[in-house]
Amino acid sequence: MSNTDAQTSFASLVVGPPVTDPINPLMGATSISPNLIELHGRKALVFAFGNLAVRAEGDFVLRYRVADILAGTGIDGVFPIQAICYGGPFHVFSTKDFPGYEASTELTKTLSVWGAQVNVREHRRRRRGKKDAAPAVTKPLYTTAPLDRDIVADSERRRRRRAGY
């Protein structure tokens, strides 16, 4: 493993050949501590990246690396890598094509109970179709007249609905 490879983030994208683009498509926490959980009567250390997102559309596989930060730093302040593994392939949809969220799995719910910061959804949330979309405002967007309270309240309700409140 080269010194340059060891300096990249602990969770990184692997798409075919190595990505040489300097813009990192990952957003959020790429370095985390493990959670000790019990699932099906067995204890396990789990690294749950609950606050990690991919900014690019496409198919990806994540590479995970485990480092012992208590072992001290090596040359140039790099932690020694203890293990490397790869996750399963996944697809990132464009906003337009996103089908909605699935209900949380048993593993996700267990991670939440044991203190991992993950999003738990009881029910599947599908994307609304055009028939279900809120009606468009027919008044001009820019006006010199004061805004009607109903339009402001309606746009606030739509904003909250989109944000999941």
**pLDDT tier, 160 (very low <50, low <70, confident <90, very high otherwise):** low
User: What letter represents residue 122's amino acid?
Assistant: E
The pLDDT of residue 146: 42
Pairwise pLDDT comparison (5 vs 118), residue with the higher score:
118
Band of residue 107 on the pLDDT scale cut at 50, 70, 90: confident
In this prediction, residues 39-57 reach a mean pLDDT of: 84
> How sure is the predictor about 148, in pLDDT bands with cuts at 50, 70 and 90?
very low
If pLDDT is split at 50, 70 and 90, which confidence band does 149 have? very low
pLDDT of res. 62: 86
The two tokens of residue 41 are 């009567």
Q: What is the mean pLDDT of the chain?
A: 69
0.85 surpassed by pTM: no
Q: Rounded CA gap, 11 and 131, in Å?
A: 40
Structure tokens at 47: 């690294």
Rounded to whole angstroms, the Cα distance separating 82 from 154 reads: 54
Burial letters for 132-150: b for 16+ Cβ neighbours within 10 Å, e otherwise?
Answer: eeeeeeeeeeeeeeeeeee
What are the structural domains of the chain?
A: 3-125 (2.60.40.3960), 129-163 (no CATH)
Q: What is the mean pLDDT of residues 48-69?
A: 84
Note the pLDDT of residue 142: 39
Q: Strand locations in the chain, DSSP E?
A: 11-14, 26-28, 35-39, 42-46, 52-54, 58-67, 81-86, 90-92, 100-101, 125-126
Taking alpha carbons only, the member of 18, 23, 89 closest to residue 58 is 89
Name the percent of the chain lying above pLDDT 70: 56
Pairwise CA distance, residues 149 & 107, whole Å = 45
Written as six digits, the tokens of 58 are 């496409």
Among the listed residues 116, 107, 103, the one whose alpha carbon sits nearest the alpha carbon of residue 50: 116
Instruction: Say whether pLDDT at 19 is over 60.
Output: no
Average pLDDT over residues 12-33: 69
Overall average pLDDT of the 140-165 stretch: 51
